[in-house]
């Protein structure tokens, strides 16, 4: 069973119903401001309902579908003078409540657009990861590169290409023979569901802004506590040459494989091709390197966004046929939104996720099954901060044991303040 | 299990919709377009209603959302002048609704603030919305009086909207959620915007008995009845709590 128990669900249902009814006359229409504006609290409540997704196309980090979720975000900013702001966000997805963000923002010089952020900080990499809120996402689904669970894991790995190929399309949950033997899901190229922990600096000068961060995890596996004694370095440069046009490029590199998995993969055995016991810190060699480019243009009543992400993982070779020196993947999407009327917009996203070839004993194939998705939909503003979205997704997977395609309608109601 | 899950989400959606819809604080239109036949605006000389509106409640500007996902401190913004109130005749003399040359008004977008924060106009007025910031704004309103969406446009550009129906129009920016403003559209000319000290003057009011209302940030007073004598001046103060 992937979701919470029935009793827990029903309790939550009762809680939400009671809380909503009780608060019917008092729900805020704007952020709550207290202490003379020094403390601001905002929130998003998003209910999404769709049919079963037997192909697991929309499963997320936390083992449930993005199309069947009640998500509640509460965020707060506490201003402590002109130089310091403390920011945090707590998020509940169905029943799980997690601290999503918690960091201190320092502005050393108030006249300069330069900030240092320390703690569980916003993603440096890419464009979508910072606008996963339903109010920023014109559709209901998430881009594949940020959501689709591949057969890559940080805590376990395939001992050979043959084992890797056996798991194609099963990223929602599977076992590998090396490392953690638990049945768990894989990672997306870039996680949209967790933030990393570390130090981030951001500055803007004219039309150019730049961000750099050193964090505990990697873009696909953000962490609170490091598990491999290596830090990720990430950077992003954004250019805004004219109003409405944003061009960005991002780069991230960091040790990906957990120390335990790396050690399990390199224990010397006669049949293994790995060099032997790991020296201290040698697990840092098993990395994820990601590069991304994104473009946004908006004008009048339309927005067009394009983003591409290339990710390369380096894993230890354990047995023959050995994993290649790099397992690559490429995710690309283009999306658009057009406002037809003040309350009504339409939107669409077309995307693809592909994987580099690996050669096993009998065949050469992409190391995971390629996936493509088309999502069309729209939104209707019942009021300014209450939005109803409808969407339809067509998902297609090029190979693997799971079902090859899925037609998925979904409805989402979003309230924010 | 599946049924419980479905019921859970559907129930949440339904209660969320009901709660949020009922929490709407968009004020009911305050402007009456129906004249009370109190007097005839004939040969008599007109008077005036003057006074002061005192705001005793705490009025704070709409705050920026916490912006946890932003990579740095957001740019500073202007502070809207929330002390400005509008005082208007709840009913107007006969002849007040005769067509007149409607003018133009301007609501600027400057430092992520609408300037002025409150605009009082007559029906038929065209309001220009220039963008004086270096980045996009997207002015829109979902009000029943005048729904519109001007889209995104850059600095130096302006787009007009003509307001043909009386009522209250709440204006927002689709990009900057903390930007908001009010446009009060009247079908008669008997209204006034208060100054920085809360003083107002409705001039050229035909003699007669009227209900007068003061409005500030979506809150309005109960109507106060006054009789404006021939060539007379009536003092009328309001307190909004």
- CATH number for position B239: 2.60.40.10
What is residue A261's three-state secondary structure? Answer: helix
Residue B161 is classified by DSSP as: E
| Residues in chain A closer than 8 A to B76 (CB atoms) | none
Considering the domain boundaries, does residue B28 fall inside one? no
d(CA A170, CA A72): 29
Considering the domain boundaries, does residue B108 fall inside one? yes
d(CA B192, CA B58): 22
- Tokens 């957001």 belong to B74
Is the CB of B17 inside 8 Å of chain A's CB atoms? yes
Residues B158 and B107 occupy one common structural domain? yes
Residues B150 and B209 occupy one common structural domain? no
Enter the tokens of residue B140: 């829109």
**E strand or H helix at A262:** helix A259-265
Enter the tokens of residue A321: 């046929």
Considering the domain boundaries, does residue B25 fall inside one? no
Burial code (b: 16+ CB inside 10 Å, e: under 16) for A240-267 equals: beebbebebebbbbbbbbbbbbbbbbbe
| CA dihedral (A231, A259, A367, A358) positive or negative | positive
Strands (DSSP E) contained in A150-206 are: 156-157, 178-179, 197-205
Enter the tokens of residue A404: 């090859």
d(CA B22, CA B26): 10
d(CA A373, CA A53): 14
**C-beta atoms of B154 and A244 within 8 A:** yes
Residues B144 and B206 occupy one common structural domain? no
Residue by residue, DSSP assigns B215-233 as EETTEEPPPEEEEEPTT-E
| Residues in chain B closer than 8 A to A49 (CB atoms) | 6, 9-10, 13
What is the reported pLDDT for A95?
76
What is residue A161's three-state secondary structure? Answer: helix
Residues B155 and B165 occupy one common structural domain? yes
| Residues in chain B closer than 8 A to A33 (CB atoms) | 60, 63
pLDDT tens, N- to C-terminus, chain A (417 residues)? 344 444 345 434 434 543 444 444 456 788 999 988 899 999 999 999 999 999 999 998 656 899 999 999 999 999 999 999 999 999 998 878 889 999 999 999 999 999 999 999 999 999 999 988 888 999 999 999 999 999 999 999 999 999 999 999 999 999 999 999 999 999 999 998 899 999 999 999 999 999 999 999 999 999 988 888 789 999 999 999 999 999 999 999 999 999 999 988 876 655 555 555 566 666 778 999 999 999 999 999 999 999 999 999 999 999 999 999 999 999 999 999 999 999 999 999 999 999 999 999 999 999 999 999 999 999 999 999 999 999 999 999 998 888 899 999 999 999 999
CB proximity under 8 Å: B 186-225 to A: none
**pLDDT grade, residue B43 (50/70/90)?**
low
Cis peptide before A321 (omega within 30 of 0): yes
State which of B187, B207, B225 marks the end of a domain. B187
d(CA A292, CA A251): 6
Is the CB of A24 inside 8 Å of chain B's CB atoms? yes
Alpha carbon distances (Å) from A319 to A268, A273, A358, A361, B128: 11, 6, 14, 12, 71
Closest Cα in chain B, distance from residue A208 (Å): 13
Closest Cα in chain A, distance from residue B14 (Å): 9
**C-beta atoms of B9 and A6 within 8 A:** no
Instruction: Average the pLDDT over each of A40-54, A121-135, B82-96, B103-117 and give the range with the smallest value.
Output: B82-96
| Residues in chain A closer than 8 A to B73 (CB atoms) | 85, 105, 107, 113, 115
Cβ-nearest to B15 among A20, A25, A107: A20
Summarised one tens digit per residue, pLDDT across range B160-187 is 999 999 999 999 999 999 999 999 999 9
How many helices (H) and strands (E) chain A has is answered by: 4, 21
Residues B139 and B153 occupy one common structural domain? yes
Cβ neighbors of A392 (< 8 A, separation 6 or more) are A375, A376, A377, A407, A408, A409, A410
What is the reported pLDDT for B19?
44
d(CA B113, CA B154): 15
Closest CA to B77 of B88, B62, B87, B91: B62
Is the CB of A117 inside 8 Å of chain B's CB atoms? yes
Is the CB of B152 inside 8 Å of chain A's CB atoms? yes
Closest CA to A37 of A75, A76, A73, A74: A76
The answer, yes or no, to whether residue B37 has pLDDT greater than 50, is no
CB proximity under 8 Å: A 25-44 to B: 25-31, 33, 37, 40-42
State which of B187, B217, B233 marks the end of a domain. B187
The CATH number for B146's domain is 2.60.40.420
d(CA B130, CA B133): 9
* φ, ψ for residue A107, nearest 5 deg: -115, 100
Q: B47 near B232, Cβ under 8 Å?
A: yes
Give the ipTM. Answer: 0.85
Considering the domain boundaries, does residue B68 fall inside one? no
**C-beta atoms of A115 and B154 within 8 A:** no
What is the reported pLDDT for A193?
87
Enter the tokens of residue A191: 């996680």
Cα A210 to chain center, whole Å? 21
Q: How many domains does chain B have?
A: 2
Closest Cα in chain A, distance from residue B124 (Å): 21
Residues B120 and B182 occupy one common structural domain? yes
Considering the domain boundaries, does residue B214 fall inside one? yes
**C-beta atoms of B70 and A341 within 8 A:** no
d(CA A200, CA A275): 36
**pLDDT grade, residue B10 (50/70/90)?**
very low
Cα B180 to chain center, whole Å? 10
**C-beta atoms of B8 and A413 within 8 A:** no
d(CA A150, CA A157): 12
**C-beta atoms of B68 and A88 within 8 A:** yes
d(CA B237, CA B54): 8
Residues B202 and B232 occupy one common structural domain? yes
Residues B156 and B210 occupy one common structural domain? no
Considering the domain boundaries, does residue B14 fall inside one? no
Strands (DSSP E) contained in A56-207 are: 69-80, 84-93, 96-106, 114-120, 156-157, 178-179, 197-205
Residues B105 and B180 occupy one common structural domain? yes
Alpha carbon distances (Å) from B129 to B10, B80, B197, B240: 41, 16, 27, 30
The fold for domain A102-416 equals Porin (2.40.160)
Q: Where are the domains of chain A?
A: 102-416
Interface residue of A70, A243, A244 to substitute, partner B, most B CBs within 10 Å: A243
Q: Which long-range contacts (CB under 8 A, 24 or more apart) does A398-401 make?
A: A398/A366, A398/A369, A398/A370, A398/A371, A398/A372, A399/A168, A399/A169, A399/A365, A399/A366, A399/A369, A399/A370, A400/A168, A400/A169, A400/A170, A400/A368, A400/A369, A401/A168, A401/A169, A401/A170
Residue A322 is classified by DSSP as: P
**pLDDT grade, residue B100 (50/70/90)?**
low
Is the CB of B58 inside 8 Å of chain A's CB atoms? no
Q: A88 near A97, Cβ under 8 Å?
A: no
What is the reported pLDDT for B231?
86
> Mean pLDDT score of chain B, rounded to an integer?
84
Alpha carbon distances (Å) from B81 to B60, B139, B215: 10, 19, 14
Alpha carbon distances (Å) from A70 to A296, A411, A412, B25: 29, 12, 10, 25
State which of B152, B170, B187 marks the end of a domain. B187
Cβ neighbors of B104 (< 8 A, separation 6 or more) are B125, B126, B127, B128, B160
Looking at the DSSP bridge assignments, the partners of residue B52 are B199
Residues B162 and B111 occupy one common structural domain? yes
What is residue B75's three-state secondary structure? Answer: coil
Intra-chain end-to-end CA distance of chain B, in Å: 51
- Tokens 């894993």 belong to A315
Closest Cα in chain B, distance from residue A289 (Å): 21
Considering the domain boundaries, does residue B53 fall inside one? yes
Residues B106 and B147 occupy one common structural domain? yes
**C-beta atoms of A29 and B25 within 8 A:** yes
Closest Cα in chain B, distance from residue A67 (Å): 11
Summarised one tens digit per residue, pLDDT across range B185-222 is 999 999 999 998 999 999 999 999 999 999 999 899 99
Alpha carbon distances (Å) from B71 to A90, B23, B219: 18, 32, 37
Enter the tokens of residue B180: 């908001």
Residues B169 and B55 occupy one common structural domain? no
Other C-beta atoms closer than 10 Å to the C-beta of B24 total: 14
Looking at the DSSP bridge assignments, the partners of residue B215 are B86, B220
**pLDDT grade, residue B98 (50/70/90)?**
low
Q: B234 near B48, Cβ under 8 Å?
A: yes
CA atoms within 13 A on the CB side of B42: 5
Q: Which domain holds residue B89?
A: 39-62+81-97+196-241
Intra-chain end-to-end CA distance of chain A, in Å: 34
């Amino acid at each position: 069973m992937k979701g919470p128990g029935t009793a827990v669900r029903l309790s939550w249902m009762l809680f939400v119903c009671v809380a909503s009814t009780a608060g019917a006359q008092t729900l805020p229409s704007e952020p709550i401001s207290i202490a003379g504006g020094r403390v601001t609290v905002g929130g998003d409540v998003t209910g999404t309902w769709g049919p079963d997704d037997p192909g697991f196309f929309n499963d997320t980090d936390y083992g449930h579908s993005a199309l069947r979720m009640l998500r509640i975000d509460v965020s707060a900013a506490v201003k402590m003078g002109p130089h310091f702001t403390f920011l945090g966000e707590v998020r509940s997805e169905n029943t799980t409540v997690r601290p999503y963000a918690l960091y201190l923002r320092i502005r050393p010089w108030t006249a300069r657009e330069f900030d240092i952020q320390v703690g569980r900080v916003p993603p440096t990499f890419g464009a979508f990861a910072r606008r996963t809120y339903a109010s920023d996402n014109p559709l209901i689904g998430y881009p594949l590169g940020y959501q689709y669970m591949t057969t890559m894991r940080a805590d376990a790995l395939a001992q050979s290409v043959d084992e890797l190929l056996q798991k194609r399309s099963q990223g929602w949950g599977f076992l590998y023979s090396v490392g953690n033997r638990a049945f768990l899901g894989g990672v997306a190229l870039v996680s949209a569901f967790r933030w990393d922990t570390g130090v981030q600096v951001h500055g803007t000068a004219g039309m150019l802004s730049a961000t750099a961060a050193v964090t505990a995890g990697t873009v696909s596996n953000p962490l609170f506590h490091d598990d491999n004694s290596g830090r990720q370095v990430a950077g992003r440069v954004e250019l805004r040459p004219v109003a409405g046009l944003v061009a960005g490029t991002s780069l991230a590199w960091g040790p990906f494989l957990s120390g335990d998995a790396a050690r399990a993969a390199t224990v010397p055995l006669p049949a293994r091709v790995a060099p032997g016991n790991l020296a201290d810190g040698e697990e840092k060699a098993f990395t994820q390197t990601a590069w991304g480019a994104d473009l946004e243009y908006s004008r009048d009543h339309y927005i067009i966004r394009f983003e591409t992400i290339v990710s390369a993982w380096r894993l230890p070779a354990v047995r023959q046929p050995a994993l290649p020196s790099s397992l690559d993947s490429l995710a690309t999407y283009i999306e658009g939104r057009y406002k037809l009327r003040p309350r009504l917009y339409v939107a669409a996203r077309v995307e693809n996720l592909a994987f580099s070839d690996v050669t096993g004993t009998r065949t050469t194939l992409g190391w995971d099954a390629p996936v493509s998705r088309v999502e069309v939909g729209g939104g209707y503003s019942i009021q300014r901060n209450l939005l109803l979205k409808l969407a339809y997704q067509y998902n297609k997977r090029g190979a693997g044991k799971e079902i090859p395609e899925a037609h998925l309608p979904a409805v989402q109601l979003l309230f924010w303040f | 299990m599946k049924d419980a899950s479905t019921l859970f989400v559907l129930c949440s959606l339904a209660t969320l919709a009901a709660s949020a819809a009922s929490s709407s604080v968009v004020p009911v239109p305050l402007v009456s377009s129906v004249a009370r036949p109190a007097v005839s605006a004939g040969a008599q000389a007109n008077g005036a209603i003057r006074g002061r509106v005192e705001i005793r409640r705490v009025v704070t500007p709409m705050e920026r959302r916490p912006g946890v996902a932003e990579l740095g401190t957001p740019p500073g913004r202007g502070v809207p002048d929330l002390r400005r109130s509008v005082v208007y005749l709840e009913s107007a003399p006969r002849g007040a609704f005769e067509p007149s040359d409607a003018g133009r008004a301007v609501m600027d977008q400057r430092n992520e603030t609408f300037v002025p924060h409150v605009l009082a106009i007559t029906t038929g007025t065209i309001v220009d919305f220039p963008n004086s910031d270096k980045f996009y704004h997207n002015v829109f309103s979902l009000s029943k009086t005048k729904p519109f969406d001007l889209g995104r446009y850059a600095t130096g550009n302006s787009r007009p909207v003509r307001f043909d129906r009386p009522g209250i129009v709440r204006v927002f920016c689709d990009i900057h959620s903390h930007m908001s403003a009010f446009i009060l559209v009247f079908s008669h000319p008997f209204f006034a915007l208060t100054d920085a000290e809360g003083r107002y003057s409705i001039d050229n009011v035909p003699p007669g008995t009227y209900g007068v209302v003061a409005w500030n940030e979506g809150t309005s007073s109960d109507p106060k009845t006054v009789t404006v004598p021939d060539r007379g001046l009536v003092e009328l103060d309001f307190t909004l709590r």
